[in-house]
């Protein structure tokens, strides 16, 4: 079989497999050496295909519907345009784009033209943009006009090394234009047929993501042209089928967007719903899910939680599958949504460095609080520091076997050799995430190996404590870090962002301490709470616990307490402290 025939065989197997056990036993990664997903796969399914590939809608009521064939032709025009501007095979293209029709045309067009894509988040500062262009050895920069203007005004020498800067959307100020700045509308002039003047090899670069940098400077994660094949596991987890209408709630610029807003749905020949909003609005998103008859939904827990504020019984949904990743799911929120829409929410786990690794898969018993079981094609084990497998129930680092078969969804390498040596040891890729496993084979997330801490000789998982506090109806977000008490013992501290209807106060703190004391094991309950307006976050919206730890250390050094910080000891009488329950 040809490489693309092998891809279709693997895809069709997962689309039609009857059970998880059958998938685990029967799925094998295809052997692929020459493969360009956009040319060899997408164009093959898209030619003369008038089914909808994409539906775009925004908060202003605008709508566009694009067929597979229209997307094929438009991305061919993009490829011809980029080649005409001088893009050569292997050139890296940095993109900062809002959710739009153009982002899909451009990603496909860059792939066809031989470029490698570096997505960037809309919140990147000029210094971040300059850093990514320089460290990424970027040749082209494609951005919506407002981000292009930000770069042209504030980024210096890095832009001079570009072959071209292409702006999408509104005209930018004339004084910012130069011979290397191009308007995306020029794509209109190019031919709708395209033939690549090169062979794409499976080890050619395709996607490069900067990590979120929660504990250190962001690293560049390099994926090659078999990365889309790796997202067959993501497709299988979501349980996508041909003809589905799929919505993934994620911002462009991050790996999750490539996961579930691009490769997974089009691997299944599903229709992607692309929504643009200046600020997330649960009512608007729910109306769009209803209007466009969305069948499969992928959303983080923070979004699902906002859905529950609305009356879900007012909507007539067509939802068949709901999946979530990246945040712990609170049982109360899950139950409220499941009761309203009669769909089981299934959790999954993966990284920027991987595709879907572990999940609760359709047809398997869903264990709430568990990440689930390993995805087909991945051998996952929990290992200790000596790369020995830990015993059932013990914490170990989540590790992926890379020999004798390397999973196709796994990164090729980092841009840092020391990082490569740290993360690839023996025949394993080390995720830096810890978990434990039960007797049925289900994995339970503990946390980042550098976030877990000891308190009074107990191992504390911030993830676990956060999951239990998040159940309280007032809590929008929670982050747990180690602090020291009045006796210099290491104890947990909970930073909390309240929902809009709640205000920081002593009464609110007491209510939360009562909840914590009644519902959590004594060894892991936070001894202090601090209310925050918002958390310090990376541009990918991940909480920067290192900044919270540094802030707390500063308070302790100054012997001060935060403006809205409360200690369990403030409520000795109310909480009956010292009285064993």
CA distance 124 to 142: 14
DSSP code at position 331: H
Domain ranges, ordered by start, for the chain = 35-48+68-225, 453-575
The residues pairing with 323 across neighbouring beta strands, listed in sequence order, are 298, 346
pLDDT score of 69:
98
**The pair of three-digit structure tokens given for residue 544, joined into one six-digit string:** 């920067």
Give the mean pLDDT per block of 10 residues along the chain (581 residues): 96 97 96 96 98 97 98 98 97 97 98 97 86 93 96 88 95 90 97 97 95 66 96 98 96 91 98 95 96 96 88 95 86 91 95 95 91 96 94 94 94 92 94 92 83 68 83 91 83 93 94 90 88 80 81 90 92 79 46
Angle between helices 145-154 and 126-135 (to 10 degrees): 90
Q: Closest Cα to residue 568, out of 490, 500, 496, 516?
A: 516
For residue 518, give every residue at least 6 positions away whose Cβ sits within 8 Å of its Cβ, in sequence order, or none. none
Residue length, the chain? Answer: 581
Backbone phi, psi, residue 36, to 5°: -125, 105
| Full DSSP string of 123-151 | T--HHHHHHHHHHTTEEEEEEEHHHHHHH
- Indicate the pTM of the whole model: 0.82
Q: Closest Cα to residue 105, out of 64, 148, 162?
A: 64
35-48+68-225 classified as CATH 3.40.50.12780: yes
Q: What is the CATH number of domain 453-575?
A: 3.30.300.30
SS (H, E, C) 16-73: HCCCHHHHHHHCCCCCCCECCHHHHHHHHHHCCCCCEEEEEEECCCCEEEEEHHHHHH
**The pair of three-digit structure tokens given for residue 82, joined into one six-digit string:** 């980029």
pLDDT score of 446:
81
Q: Indicate if 453-575 has the same CATH topology as 35-48+68-225.
A: no
pLDDT score of 213:
54
CA-to-CA dists, residue 410 to 351, 413, 537, 561, angstroms: 9, 9, 26, 45
pLDDT score of 581:
46
Q: Closest Cα to residue 296, out of 260, 325, 332?
A: 260
């Amino acid at each position: 079989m040809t490489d693309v025939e092998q891809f279709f065989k693997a895809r069709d197997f997962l689309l039609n497999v009857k059970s998880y056990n059958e998938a685990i036993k029967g799925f094998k990664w295809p052997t692929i050496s020459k493969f360009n997903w956009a040319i060899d796969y997408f164009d093959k399914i898209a030619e003369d295909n008038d089914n909808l590939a994409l539906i775009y809608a925004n908060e202003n009521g605008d709508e566009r519907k694009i067929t597979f064939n229209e997307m094929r032709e438009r991305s061919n025009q993009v490829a011809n345009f980029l080649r005409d501007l001088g893009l050569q095979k292997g050139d890296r293209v940095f993109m900062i784009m809002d959710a739009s029709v153009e982002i899909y045309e451009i990603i496909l067009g860059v792939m066809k033209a031989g470029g490698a894509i570096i997505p960037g988040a809309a919140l990147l500062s000029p210094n971040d943009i300059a850093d990514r262009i320089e460290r990424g050895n970027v040749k082209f920069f494609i951005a919506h006009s407002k981000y292009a203007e930000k770069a042209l005004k504030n980024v210096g020498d890095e832009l001079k090394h570009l072959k071209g800067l292409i702006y999408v959307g509104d005209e930018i100020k004339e004084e910012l234009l130069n011979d290397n700045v191009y308007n995306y509308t020029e794509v209109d002039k190019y031919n709708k047929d395209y033939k690549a003047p090169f062979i794409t090899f499976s080890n050619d670069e395709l996607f490069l993501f900067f990590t979120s940098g929660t504990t250190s400077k962001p690293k560049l994660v390099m994926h090659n042209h078999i990365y889309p094949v790796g997202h067959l596991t993501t497709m299988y987890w979501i349980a996508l089928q041909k003809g589905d209408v799929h919505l993934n709630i994620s911002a462009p610029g991050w790996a999750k967007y490539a996961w579930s807003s691009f490769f997974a749905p089009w691997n299944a020949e599903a229709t992607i719903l692309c929504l643009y909003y200046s600020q997330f609005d649960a009512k608007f998103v729910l109306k769009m899910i209803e209007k466009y008859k969305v069948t499969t939904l992928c959303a983080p827990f923070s979004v699902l939680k906002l859905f529950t504020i609305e009356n879900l019984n007012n909507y007539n949904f067509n939802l068949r599958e709901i999946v979530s990743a990246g945040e712990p799911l609170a049982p109360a929120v899950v139950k409220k949504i499941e009761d309203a829409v009669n769909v089981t929410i299934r959790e999954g786990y993966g990284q920027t460095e991987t595709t879907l690794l572990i999940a609760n898969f359709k047809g398997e018993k869903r264990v709430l609080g568990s990440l689930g079981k390993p995805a087909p094609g991945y051998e996952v084990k929990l290992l200790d520091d000596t790369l020995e497998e830990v015993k059932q129930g013990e914490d170990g680092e989540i590790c992926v076997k890379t020999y004798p078969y390397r999973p196709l969804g796994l990164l090729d390498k980092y841009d840092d050799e020391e990082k490569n040596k740290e993360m690839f040891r023996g025949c394993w890729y080390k995720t830096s995430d810890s978990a434990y496993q039960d007797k049925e084979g289900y994995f339970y997330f503990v946390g980042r190996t550098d976030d877990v801490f000891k308190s009074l000789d107990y191992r504390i998982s911030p993830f676990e404590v956060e999951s239990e506090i998040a159940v309280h109806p007032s809590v929008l977000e929670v982050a747990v870090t180690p602090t020291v008490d009045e006796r210099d013992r290491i104890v947990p501290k909970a930073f909390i962002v309240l929902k809009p209807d709640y205000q920081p106060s002593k009464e609110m703190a007491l209510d939360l301490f009562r909840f914590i004391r009644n519902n959590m094991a004594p060894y892991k309950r936070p001894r202090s709470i601090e209310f925050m307006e918002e958390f310090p976050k990376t541009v990918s919206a991940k909480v920067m616990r290192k900044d919270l730890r540094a802030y707390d250390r500063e308070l302790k050094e100054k012997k001060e307490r935060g403006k809205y910080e409360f200690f369990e000891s403030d409520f000795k009488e109310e909480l009956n402290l010292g009285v064993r329950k």
